[in-house]
């Protein structure tokens, strides 16, 4: 039975109440131009005010997405300079290291000075407006400094998550032609060291275009420095002027590239631009988290993912908030880490992923009970559908029924949250991201693209542009159009399936394309398959998702070996670690089945539907297998299930 949690006392004083939401939603639908003109003016500080607001079309004939096109602004100025007069001495970032209590507090004034100094370092190293800079860093203050320094001078940052392999890093550096890379000697996660600089060295063997590597000293490990190429961060900033003017950027100038997996081919460089992205991350942070002056906000994501961009750095800082940067993991040194840290730092708003909630829930309530969590006012969830059991535990045990949960649906492509409750306006239903934010027009369509009305289920599309949406795939505008706007002409296709109930609430059911959501991180099945096939003993591979108790989805790989190769547990282990080193630990298959053959149609197309069913353990009803070239392989696969 569906339970409704009405807006409660905890939301008292929220800026947007029920009537407010209805009014804003109607207003944005009736007059998007006027709505976004006002929002952009009151949320951001412009160097040159815009006169144009919305210029967008999702149709092939006049496809274009442009917002505030003649306005100029600077992201670092919005996140730092404009706060100096009113809150220069307020803490902007609380950094919490891997070891509990290893903490650093940086005020807005200090952050501003560090960013200006580092921006001058970038300039001195030849970085100009429009140049790409790749960041491969732990969750340290320098990561935020480097991001903001790029934005201050108009350079485009591309962050590569520290868990990605040297090969993945090399591909991303090459794709956007970065000439400068910023990294650290090592990262620390859960008491283990991550050889970031050594990984960069391996990657750069394939990236001759990189001229400079700036290296943060994080652990003090003994690492190799390449003469003439590698420079220590601390040496580079020494004595550098902390005065650096903020470059006036056009609203549509590129802000950052972030690579994300798709259903086909190599990861896409999602490009976000300056004005629309900053407006979206700032306004959604303010409204969805109902952020109040002086509060401490903790989003546990890494800046290597979009959640870290929008809700660790840009959204909070644009609002003058105090944001926590966490360089650790939820289960180190023990399963109470989150809750103990919340108490110690006085966290008011906590935003994490269902996978972390499920992992901690399994360890029992005792770890939570050791903490008071008195400071908590609001909880958030992101990255994948949250199952009602995890929702209930988060609400009842962590939030002690005091804290509303905002389940926020969005994507790397959307720049920020599109569907989520507003704490003072929306009754909650566990497992539903509830309703679209003002200005967001979701629709459900059937396979042919017909718009479905009322309570129904279908594919989730967005019918009109919003300022925070991605503008292109780096270097491949055609792929951008094909991927998102060609399936259902005139609409942005999210790749998600979704149900809408009689109250107009949205329930995301998961990806409908060949993308797997592993622990809230997106993985393309094609990427894992090509990594497997690159192994000398592998002839063919097919990868599908399977239900996983903690990760949400796990990776299930079917592997056909070359003639003469024999399956063995050693080879299975070897292939798993092969994928780990080709892509990164998150891509390592949870289950790997050696298959004598794969189910294919007579035209040679792999029938993934059947592979998915077998991986799910749902073998009683495999559907029509008569079109298979060799129906016999199905029985073999069922028998060999792991």
- Looking from the CA of 228 toward its CB, the CA atoms found within 13 Å total 0
> Least distance to ligand WT7 from the beta carbon of 432, Å?
9
Is residue 119 within 8 Å of 244, Cβ to Cβ?
yes
For position 352 contacting ligand WT7 by CB under 6 A, the verdict is no
Is residue 502 within 8 Å of 454, Cβ to Cβ?
yes
For position 306 contacting ligand WT7 by CB under 6 A, the verdict is yes
Is residue 255 within 8 Å of 415, Cβ to Cβ?
no
Which C-beta is closer to ligand WT7: that of 276 or that of 308? Answer: 308
Which C-beta is closer to ligand WT7: that of 307 or that of 588? Answer: 307
Which C-beta is closer to ligand WT7: that of 409 or that of 558? Answer: 409
Tokens of 552: 């949400």
398 burial level (CB within 10 Å; 0-12, 13-18, 19+): buried
> Least distance to ligand WT7 from the beta carbon of 251, Å?
23
For position 358 contacting ligand WT7 by CB under 6 A, the verdict is no
Give the total of residues touching ligand WT7 (CB under 6 A): 23
For position 462 contacting ligand WT7 by CB under 6 A, the verdict is no
For position 553 contacting ligand WT7 by CB under 6 A, the verdict is no
Cα 337 → chain centroid: 22
Tokens of 503: 């109250």
Q: Is residue 31 a known part of a binding site?
A: no
- Binding segment (CB under 6 A) for ligand WT7, from list 116-124, 481-489, 491-499, 586-594: 491-499
For position 584 contacting ligand WT7 by CB under 6 A, the verdict is no
- Binding segment (CB under 6 A) for ligand WT7, from list 151-159, 286-294, 473-481, 514-522: 514-522
Q: Is residue 7 a known part of a binding site?
A: no
Helix (H, G, I), strand (E, B) or coil at 88: coil
Which C-beta is closer to ligand WT7: that of 254 or that of 495? Answer: 495
For position 403 contacting ligand WT7 by CB under 6 A, the verdict is no
Is residue 179 within 8 Å of 131, Cβ to Cβ?
yes
> Least distance to ligand WT7 from the beta carbon of 618, Å?
21
> Least distance to ligand WT7 from the beta carbon of 40, Å?
23
Q: Is residue 472 a known part of a binding site?
A: no
Strand order in the sheet with 492-500: 451-452, 442-445, 456-462, 492-500, 506-511
Cα–Cα distances in angstroms (integers) from residue 390 to residues 301, 398, 602, 616, in the given order: 18, 11, 44, 21
Which C-beta is closer to ligand WT7: that of 11 or that of 382? Answer: 382
> Least distance to ligand WT7 from the beta carbon of 615, Å?
18
Pair type for strands 91-96 and 103-107: antiparallel
What phi and psi, each to the nearest 5 degrees, are found at residue 264? -130, 155
Which C-beta is closer to ligand WT7: that of 385 or that of 468? Answer: 385
Q: Which of 582, 575, 581, 580 is nearest to 559 (CA)?
A: 575
Q: Is residue 636 a known part of a binding site?
A: no
- Binding segment (CB under 6 A) for ligand WT7, from list 40-48, 169-177, 402-410, 561-569: 402-410
Which C-beta is closer to ligand WT7: that of 279 or that of 405? Answer: 405
Q: Is residue 519 a known part of a binding site?
A: yes
Q: Please identify which residue in 336, 495, 524, 554 interacts with ligand WT7, judged by CB under 6 A.
A: 495
Q: Please identify which residue in 197, 522, 551, 572 interacts with ligand WT7, judged by CB under 6 A.
A: 522
Contacting residues for 297 by C-beta, under 8 A, at least 6 apart: 289, 291, 311, 316, 321, 322, 323, 324, 347, 348, 349, 351
Measured distance CA(538)–CA(114) in Å, rounded = 50
- Binding segment (CB under 6 A) for ligand WT7, from list 56-64, 410-418, 566-574, 590-598: 410-418
- Binding segment (CB under 6 A) for ligand WT7, from list 11-19, 243-251, 368-376, 493-501: 493-501
| Angle, vertex CA 275, rays to CA 258 and CA 253, nearest 5 | 65
Q: Is residue 468 a known part of a binding site?
A: no
Which C-beta is closer to ligand WT7: that of 168 or that of 260? Answer: 260
- Looking from the CA of 633 toward its CB, the CA atoms found within 13 Å total 20
Q: Is residue 511 a known part of a binding site?
A: yes
For position 527 contacting ligand WT7 by CB under 6 A, the verdict is no
Q: Is residue 580 a known part of a binding site?
A: yes
Is residue 149 within 8 Å of 122, Cβ to Cβ?
yes
Rg (CA), the chain: 24
Cα 434 → chain centroid: 20
Look at the alpha carbons of 485, 487, 489, 495 in this order and tell me if their dihedral is positive or negative: negative
For position 519 contacting ligand WT7 by CB under 6 A, the verdict is no
- Binding segment (CB under 6 A) for ligand WT7, from list 71-79, 357-365, 520-528, 532-540: 520-528
Q: Please identify which residue in 412, 483, 560, 593 interacts with ligand WT7, judged by CB under 6 A.
A: 412
Give the other-Cβ count within 10 Å of 497's Cβ: 17
Q: Which of positions 367-386 make contact with ligand WT7 (CB under 6 A)?
A: 382-385
Which C-beta is closer to ligand WT7: that of 183 or that of 300? Answer: 300
> Least distance to ligand WT7 from the beta carbon of 408, Å?
5
Which C-beta is closer to ligand WT7: that of 94 or that of 270? Answer: 270
For position 408 contacting ligand WT7 by CB under 6 A, the verdict is yes
Helix (H, G, I), strand (E, B) or coil at 534: coil
38 torsion bin: left (phi>0), alpha (psi -120 to 50), beta (else) = alpha
Q: Annotate each residue in 416-435 with x if it binds ligand WT7 (CB under 6 A) or - if it does not, as one string.
A: -----------------x--
Which C-beta is closer to ligand WT7: that of 465 or that of 494? Answer: 494
Query: What is the DSSP secondary structure assignment for residue 294, as one 8-state letter?
Result: T
Q: Is residue 51 a known part of a binding site?
A: no
Q: Is residue 395 a known part of a binding site?
A: no
> Least distance to ligand WT7 from the beta carbon of 509, Å?
8
> Least distance to ligand WT7 from the beta carbon of 192, Å?
24
For position 508 contacting ligand WT7 by CB under 6 A, the verdict is yes
Contacting residues for 107 by C-beta, under 8 A, at least 6 apart: 88, 89, 90, 91, 92
For position 32 contacting ligand WT7 by CB under 6 A, the verdict is no
Is residue 408 within 8 Å of 381, Cβ to Cβ?
yes
388 torsion bin: left (phi>0), alpha (psi -120 to 50), beta (else) = alpha
Which C-beta is closer to ligand WT7: that of 348 or that of 411? Answer: 411
Helix (H, G, I), strand (E, B) or coil at 258: strand
Helices within 493-639 (DSSP H only): 525-533, 569-582, 608-616, 632-639
Is residue 376 within 8 Å of 403, Cβ to Cβ?
yes
Q: Is residue 408 a known part of a binding site?
A: yes
Is residue 559 within 8 Å of 593, Cβ to Cβ?
yes
Measured distance CA(589)–CA(503) in Å, rounded = 39
Question: What is the contact surface with ligand WT7 in residues (CB under 6 A)?
Answer: 260, 306-307, 382-385, 407-412, 433, 494-496, 508, 511, 517, 520-522
Which residues are annotated as part of the binding site for CoA? Answer: 189-192, 307, 331, 519, 580
Binding site, by residue number, is 189-192, 307, 331, 383-385, 407-412, 496, 511, 519, 522, 533, 535, 538, 580
């Amino acid at each position: 039975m569906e339970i409704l949690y009405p807006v409660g006392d905890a939301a008292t004083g929220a800026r947007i109440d029920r009537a407010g939401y209805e009014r804003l939603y109607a207003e944005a639908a009736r007059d998007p131009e006027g709505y976004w003109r006002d929002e952009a003016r009151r949320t951001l500080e412009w160097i040159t005010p815009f006169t144009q607001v919305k210029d967008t079309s999702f149709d092939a004939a006049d496809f274009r997405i442009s917002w505030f096109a003649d306005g100029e602004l600077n992201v670092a100025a919005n996140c730092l300079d404009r706060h100096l007069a009113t809150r220069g001495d307020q803490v902007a970032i609380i950094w919490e290291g891997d070891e509990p209590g290893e903490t650093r507090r940086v005020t807005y004034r200090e952050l501003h000075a560090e960013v200006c100094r580092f921006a001058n370092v970038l300039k001195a190293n030849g970085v100009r407006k429009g140049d790409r800079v790749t960041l491969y860093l732990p969750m340290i203050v320098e990561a935020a400094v480097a991001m903001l320094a790029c934005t201050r001078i108009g350079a485009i940052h591309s962050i590569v998550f520290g868990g990605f392999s040297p090969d993945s890093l090399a591909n991303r550096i090459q794709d956007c032609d970065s000439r400068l890379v910023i990294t650290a000697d090592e990262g620390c996660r859960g008491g283990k060291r991550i050889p970031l600089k050594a990984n960069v060295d391996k990657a750069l063997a394939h990236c001759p275009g990189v001229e400079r590597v700036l290296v943060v000293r994080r652990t003090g490990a003994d690492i190799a420095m390449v003469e003439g190429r590698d420079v220590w961060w601390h040496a580079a900033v020494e004595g550098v002027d902390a005065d650096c003017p903020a470059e006036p950027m056009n609203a549509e100038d590129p802000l950052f590239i972030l690579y994300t997996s798709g259903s086909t081919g190599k990861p896409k460089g999602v490009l976000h631009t300056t004005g629309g992205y900053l407006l979206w991350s700032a306004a959604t942070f303010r409204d969805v988290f109902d952020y109040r002056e002086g509060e401490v906000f903790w989003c546990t994501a890494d800046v290597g993912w979009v959640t870290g961009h929008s809700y660790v750095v840009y959204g909070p800082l644009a609002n003058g908030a105090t944001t926590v940067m966490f360089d650790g993991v939820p289960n180190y040194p023990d399963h109470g880490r989150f809750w103990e840290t919340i108490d110690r730092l006085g966290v008011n708003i906590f935003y994490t992923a269902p996978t972390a909630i499920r992992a901690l829930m399994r360890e029992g309530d005792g770890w939570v009970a050791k903490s008071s969590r008195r400071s908590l006012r609001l909880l958030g969830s992101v990255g994948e559908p949250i199952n009602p059991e995890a929702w209930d535990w988060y609400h009842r045990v962590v939030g002690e029924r005091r804290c509303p949960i905002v389940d926020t649906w969005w994507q790397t492509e959307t720049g920020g949250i599109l569907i989520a409750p507003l704490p003072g306006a929306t009754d909650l239903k566990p497992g539903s991201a509830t309703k679209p934010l003002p200005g967001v027009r979701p629709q459900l369509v059937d396979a042919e693209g017909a718009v479905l009305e009322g309570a129904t289920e279908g594919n989730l599309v967005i019918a009109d542009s919003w300022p925070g949406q991605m503008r292109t795939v780096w270097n491949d505008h055609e792929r951008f159009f094909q991927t998102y706007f060609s399936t259902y002409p005139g609409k942005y296709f999210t790749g998600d399936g979704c149900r809408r109930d009689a109250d107009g609430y949205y329930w995301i059911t998961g990806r409908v394309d060949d993308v797997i959501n592993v622990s809230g991180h997106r993985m393309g099945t094609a990427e894992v398959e090509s990594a497997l096939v690159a192994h000398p003993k592998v002839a063919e591979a097919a990868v599908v998702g399977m239900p996983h108790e903690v990760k949400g989805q796990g990776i299930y790989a079917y592997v056909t070996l070359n003639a003469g190769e024999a399956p063995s547990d050693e080879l299975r282990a070897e292939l798993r670690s092969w994928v780990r080193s080709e892509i990164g630990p998150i891509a390592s298959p949870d289950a790997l089945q050696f298959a004598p053959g794969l189910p294919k149609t007579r035209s040679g197309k792999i029938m993934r539907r059947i592979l998915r069913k077998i991986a799910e353990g749902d073998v009683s009803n495999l559907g029509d297998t008569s079109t298979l070239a060799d129906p016999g392989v199905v029985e073999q696969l069922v028998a060999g299930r792991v």
